[in-house]
Amino acid sequence: MCSMKTENVIYFTEKEENFANLLIEIGTKKNVAKVLVFLANIPKATSREIECGTDLRQPEVSIAMKYLMEQVWIKSREIKAENKGRPVKIYELEKPITEILDCIKTNKEKEANNQLAHIRKLREYLN
């Protein structure tokens, strides 16, 4: 449930849902695709906002964030919480979504070329 206090929650439009589904179809993990699309459409967000807006659970968001940080596609910074307690992390894209899509394209091309090379090797065994 995503509303103890009044807050604006951003939900996916049909276009954003389709964008995420296309990413998933090309092999991006569901949680990564949803977080990526969410952050592509909002300048910055907390983990909680991402959870609510993507309808993912906290562990799923954490796993996606770890992967996205490893790829250097997002960045985070901490701000003091409104009440006393742990600082809140704010996440945003490190690169424009178009550059991220270029990275995904390059990775997919490498994967495809590797698979084609394996098929060529398999054919060599038939000769």
**pLDDT tens digit at each of 127 positions of the chain:** 554 444 566 778 899 999 999 999 999 999 999 999 999 999 899 999 999 999 999 999 999 999 999 999 999 999 887 777 788 899 999 999 999 999 999 999 999 999 999 999 999 998 7
How far is residue 41's CA from residue 4's CA, in Å, rounded to a whole number?
24
How far is residue 35's CA from residue 102's CA, in Å, rounded to a whole number?
17
Task: Give me the pLDDT at residue 127, please.
Answer: 77
32-69 CB burial, b ≥16 within 10 A, e <16:
bbbbbbbbbbeeebebebbbbbbebeeebbebbbebbe
How far is residue 60's CA from residue 74's CA, in Å, rounded to a whole number?
16
CATH of 14-95, one of 3.40.50.720, 3.40.50.300, 1.10.10.10, 3.40.1370.10: 1.10.10.10
What percentage of the chain carries pLDDT values higher than 70? 92
pTM of this prediction? Answer: 0.83
